[in-house]
Amino acid sequence: MRMYKALLLSLLIFTLIPIAQAETPQSFSFTGAGYGHGVGMSQMGARAHALAGESATTILNYYYKDVVIAPVVDTHTIRVNIGHLLRSVSFVSATPESLIQIYAGEVVGPTELAPIATFTSRQKASFRLDASGVITGPVSGKSFTIRWTGPNAVITFSQPGSAVKYRYGQMQMKVVKGAIEVTNSLSVHDEYLWGISEMSSAWPTAALEAQVIASRSYALSKIGAIKPSCDCHVYSHIADQNFVGYSKEIEPKIGALWKAAVSRTNIDISTSLAILLNGKPIQAYYSSSSGGATQTTLDAWGQPTPYTQSVADPAGLDPKLNPRFASWKASSTQQLVAAAFLLPDVISLEIVSRNSAGAVTYIKGTSSNGSTKLLRGDTFRSRAKIPSPYFQLAQ
C-alpha cells in the first residue's frame, strides 16, 4: 500500500511539472489605439485641426493649458547627442572641395589654434576607443572638436548601423564614462529646428508650424547644465526629439516645406515664437496620436505640470487620418514583460485602473512564485514595446 501511494505521488508530481510550465505564457496579446504616450499635442490631431483651417496658435492653445504663443529670444546654442555609448566612429566630408578639421579638446567660437589633423573630401577619419579608454585613430586623446569648412560643406557622421549628414555647427567627440559620446552644437533659432524630424513635411502648413513651435519650446526648456550621461542638453532620438540633421532639409520635394515652416515662426534674427507659461518656454510634450483623448503628465507619469490637460482627440481614432494606429493589435514576449516588471516571469496581467482619457494608469503583473508588481501604463507601454498606453488585454 505504501509503495502504491509513493508511486501515485511520483506520477502526480511528474504530471504537474509540465502543466505548471504550460501555464506560463510565451507572449501576451493586446489591442488598442494611438501611438506614443498621449501627453500634450497630438500630431495627428494637429493635422486634423490644420485641415479644418485652424492656425498653429489655435492648435497649440487647444492642447496646452493657460499658455501664450509669443516671441522669445532663442539665440542659444544647443548641444545634441548624436552618438551615445560608442566604441567606434568615423567622419568624412559629404561635399567636394571641403575639409574636416580636428582640434584637441573643446573649442568654442573663433580660434587661432591650428587643427591637429585635417582631412580632404576623399579622406575618412576613423576612430576607436582602445582598452585604456583613449580615442585612437589619426590622432589620440580623450576630447576633440570637429569642424568642417568649404563651399556648402556637409559632413557625414557614421557609427555602427547608421550614417547621417550634418551641415551646421560643430561636433564634439569625448570619452565619457568609458564610451565615446558625439554631440552636435548648433543654433536653436533655426539650425537645430531644420533638422527635427517629428512630422511629415508634406502635412498642412499650420500643423508644421505648430510642430516647429512645440519643438523649439521643448528645446529651450532643456537649455541649461550639460547632462553628464550624454555630454548634451538633449538626445537626438525619442528620449527627447528626433533630430536627423541635414537629412531632413534635403528630403526630395518636401524638405523645403519644413524649412519654410521654421522660417515663418522666426520673428527676427534673435527671436522666434514659443509656447510660454509665466514668460518661460514650456517643456512641450507631444506624441503621434492618442486613443481618443490626450493625457496629463499626472495621469501618465505621476508628476503634474500646469500646462498639460486632457482634451478630446478624435483624429487618433480616424482610420483615414491614422490608418496604422486608429486601432491596432500587438504582442509582447514573456521575456520583455517579465523584464518590464523586474519579475522572474509573468503568468498573468491585470489592468488595475484607467484615467479619464481612457489610458491605462496602472497594470499588475503576477509571477509564478506569487510575487506581484504594479507599473504605470505608459512605463509598461515603453518597456513592453507596444504602441500606446490606450490598450486592452486580448483574450
Q: pLDDT (tens digit, 9 = 90+) per residue, 339-365?
A: 999 999 999 999 999 999 999 999 999
Angle between helices 205-222 and 255-264 (to 10 degrees): 70
pLDDT digits (tens, 9 = 90+) for 92-131: 999 998 999 999 999 998 888 999 999 998 899 999 999 9
What was the pLDDT predicted at 111? 87
Q: How far apart are CA 99 and CA 92, in angstroms?
A: 9
What was the pLDDT predicted at 122? 82
Mean pLDDT of all residues belonging to the chain: 93
pLDDT digits (tens, 9 = 90+) for 170-198: 999 999 999 999 999 999 999 999 999 99
What was the pLDDT predicted at 225? 86
CA angle centred on 256, ends 252 and 258, rounded to 5°: 110
The x, y and z cell numbers of residue 19, run together, are: 502543466
Q: Which of 47, 116, 23, 8 is nearest to 318 (CA)?
A: 47
Whole-angstrom Cα Rg for the chain: 25
Neighbours of 218 (CB within 10 A): 23
C-alpha distances in Å from residue 361, one per residue of 285, 300, 348, 349: 18, 7, 17, 14
**What is the separation of C-alpha 188 from the centre of its chain, rounded to a whole number of angstroms?**
18
CA angle centred on 26, ends 23 and 31, rounded to 5°: 105
What does DSSP assign to residue 227? B
Mean pLDDT of 384-395: 95
Mean pLDDT of 14-18: 41
Statement: the pTM of the whole predicted model exceeds 0.75: yes
Q: Burial of 6 by CB count in 10 Å (0-12 exposed, 13-18 middle, 19+ buried)?
A: exposed
What was the pLDDT predicted at 110? 87
Question: Is residue 13 very low, low, confident or very high in pLDDT (cuts 50, 70, 90)?
Answer: very low
Question: Is residue 166 very low, low, confident or very high in pLDDT (cuts 50, 70, 90)?
Answer: very high
Q: How far apart are CA 288 and CA 34, in angstroms?
A: 7
- pLDDT greater than 60 at residue 8: no
C-alpha distances in Å from residue 52, one per residue of 206, 213, 284, 290, 382: 10, 19, 23, 19, 32
> DSSP 3-state assignment of 163?
strand
What was the pLDDT predicted at 234? 98
Question: Is residue 6 very low, low, confident or very high in pLDDT (cuts 50, 70, 90)?
Answer: very low
The x, y and z cell numbers of residue 266, run together, are: 522666426
370 Cβ neighbours under 8 A, 6+ residues apart: none
CA atoms in the 13 A half-sphere facing the CB of 29: 4
Mean pLDDT of 286-296: 97
CA angle centred on 43, ends 37 and 45, rounded to 5°: 105
What was the pLDDT predicted at 20? 45
- pLDDT greater than 90 at residue 263: yes
What was the pLDDT predicted at 206? 98
User: Between these two residues, 288 and 110, which has the higher pLDDT value?
Assistant: 288
One-letter amino acid of 386:
I
| Lowest-pLDDT choice from 18-32, 44-58, 232-246, 371-385 | 18-32
Q: How far apart are CA 164 and CA 155, in angstroms?
A: 8
What was the pLDDT predicted at 192? 98
End-to-end CA distance of the chain: give it in Å, rounded.
46
> DSSP 3-state assignment of 255?
helix
User: Between these two residues, 4 and 138, which has the higher pLDDT value?
Assistant: 138
pLDDT digits (tens, 9 = 90+) for 40-66: 999 999 999 999 999 999 999 999 999
The residue count of the chain comes to: 395
What was the pLDDT predicted at 109? 87
147 Cβ neighbours under 8 A, 6+ residues apart: 100, 101, 102, 103, 107, 115, 170, 171
Percent of the chain with pLDDT over 70: 94
**What is the separation of C-alpha 195 from the centre of its chain, rounded to a whole number of angstroms?**
14
Neighbours of 95 (CB within 10 A): 16
338 Cβ neighbours under 8 A, 6+ residues apart: 344, 345, 346, 365, 367
